């Protein structure tokens, strides 16, 4: 089994030196994506039965932490590709798993998840994309937005309403009537290659329905989002670690008033708070990983706790890192400006911080924790 030091060394060598360039070019090089698949990293939890690495969730979480430390945009590929793969493992038919999982594990195809729409974000139960049942399959019409790696994905997991009930469908890129519009100029996640998706009378085969009609949100989207939050929580821990690492380096090299920044007490406070946030976030993510392995019913709440805390920790750590760097933290010669932009996105995707607070409160009452 690949170990955390291996993940760290790979990120240090192959990702971190190039992340600012990826950000400027608004893309991840295909050769890097291929390497990540060849190493069995992306969707590394897929079982060897389907050609995957068979990582346990703790190992996979530690991998996501290191990817998040290196490049948050790249982490979103792990997130969306993992969401689709995880849904297949839990809800896919034998035929669907045999058809797609080996190709998802090898990187022959890349997958993406389409839930958010131009008019619908958090209120996902009222999506406007519709699917109409016919003898030949389902006719899909609608739009999706903010789809990470939608520009290059080959297979899309799409949520729609069918007969007024939520349903999920696999939509191949080559489907007639399906079009993709690249998005650019984002605040953060600039190299995540986001896209808008449009479906105009797309015929979806019956075999591409995931689960049953009516299960689209509660089961399919719920499973996908839980896994996405798991990946994001770990990735935010890595992003907070990157902020800490950059601040330690800068404060050890920069002098003000005749002393290194690290010798100033207010800087020491910034550093101490970052250390505490990183360690606390990592422990919460490890707890979520343990519950993922055991299937404990509290895993949904614990995963939301990890995502909520880790994303806010990453955001505050990025703010502090920029403050420590001063004016240098506001230019593209230092990565902390990218960390700040990416951290803000982390507080929004896969359920905003406010949604996580609602989930945590509801489950806390359910399990009588308060």
Question: Are the C-beta atoms of residues 323 and 271 closer than 8 Å to each other?
Answer: no
Active site residue 350: yes
Pairing of strands 111-114, 155-162: parallel
Question: Are the C-beta atoms of residues 288 and 303 closer than 8 Å to each other?
Answer: yes
Q: What share of the chain is helix, strand, coil (3-state, %, to 5)?
A: 60, 15, 25
Question: Are the C-beta atoms of residues 202 and 178 closer than 8 Å to each other?
Answer: yes
* C-alpha of 209 from chain center: 24
H/E element, 36: helix 30-38
How many whole angstroms separate alpha carbon 96 and alpha carbon 92? 6
Which alpha helices (DSSP H) does 151-212 contain, by range?
A: none
Nearest to 28 by CA among 80, 65, 103: 80
H/E element, 112: strand 111-114
Positive or negative torsion for Cα 180, 183, 188, 190: positive
Tokens of 358: 């609602």
Task: Count the Cβ atoms, other than its own, within 10 Å of residue 271.
Answer: 18
The one catalytic residue among 95, 263, 350, 368 = 350
The answer for residues whose C-beta is within 8 angstroms of residue 356's C-beta and 6 or more apart is 229, 304, 305, 307, 308
Helix (H) and strand (E) counts in the chain: 11, 10
Tokens of 69: 């430390």
- Mapping DSSP to helix (H, G, I), strand (E, B) and coil, where does residue 44 land? coil
Q: Tell which phi-psi region holds residue 199, choosing left (phi > 0), alpha (psi between -120 and 50) or beta.
A: beta
Catalytic residue numbers, as ranges = 350
């Amino acid at each position: 089994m690949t170990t955390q030091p291996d993940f760290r060394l790979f990120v240090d060598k192959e990702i971190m030196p190039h992340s600012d360039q990826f950000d400027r070019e608004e893309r991840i090089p295909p050769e890097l994506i291929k390497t990540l698949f060849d190493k069995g990293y992306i969707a590394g939890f897929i079982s060897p039965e389907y050609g995957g690495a068979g990582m346990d969730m703790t190992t996979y979480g530690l991998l996501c932490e290191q990817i998040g430390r290196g490049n948050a945009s790249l982490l979103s590929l792990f997130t969306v590709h993992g969401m689709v793969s995880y849904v297949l493992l839990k809800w896919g038919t034998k035929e669907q798993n045999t058809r797609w999982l080996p190709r998802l594990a090898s990187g022959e195809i890349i997958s993406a998840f389409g839930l958010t729409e131009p008019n619908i974000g958090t209120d996902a139960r009222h999506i406007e994309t519709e699917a109409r049942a016919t003898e030949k399959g389902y006719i899909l019409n609608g739009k999706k937005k903010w789809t990470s790696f939608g520009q290059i994905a080959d297979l899309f997991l799409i949520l729609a309403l069918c007969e007024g009930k939520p349903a999920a469908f696999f939509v191949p890129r080559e489907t007639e009537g399906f079009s993709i519009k690249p998005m650019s100029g984002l605040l953060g996640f600039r190299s995540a290659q986001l896209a808008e998706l449009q479906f105009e009378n797309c015929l979806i085969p019956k075999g591409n329905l995931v689960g049953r009609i009516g299960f689209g949100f509660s089961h399919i989207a719920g499973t996908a989002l839980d896994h996405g939050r798991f990946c994001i929580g770990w990735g935010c821990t890595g992003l907070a670690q990157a902020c800490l690492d950059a601040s330690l380096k800068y404060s050890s090299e920069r002098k003000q008033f005749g002393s290194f920044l690290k010798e100033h007490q207010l800087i020491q406070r910034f550093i101490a708070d970052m250390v505490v946030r990183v360690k606390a976030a990592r422990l919460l993510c490890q707890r979520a990983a343990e519950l993922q392995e055991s299937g404990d019913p509290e895993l949904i709440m614990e995963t939301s706790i990890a995502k909520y805390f880790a994303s806010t920790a990453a955001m505050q750590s990025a703010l502090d890192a920029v403050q420590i760097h001063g004016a240098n933290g506001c230019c593209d010669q230092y990565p902390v400006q990218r960390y700040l932009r990416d951290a803000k996105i982390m507080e929004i995707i896969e359920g905003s911080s406010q949604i996580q607070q609602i989930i945590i409160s509801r489950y806390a009452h359910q399990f009588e924790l308060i």
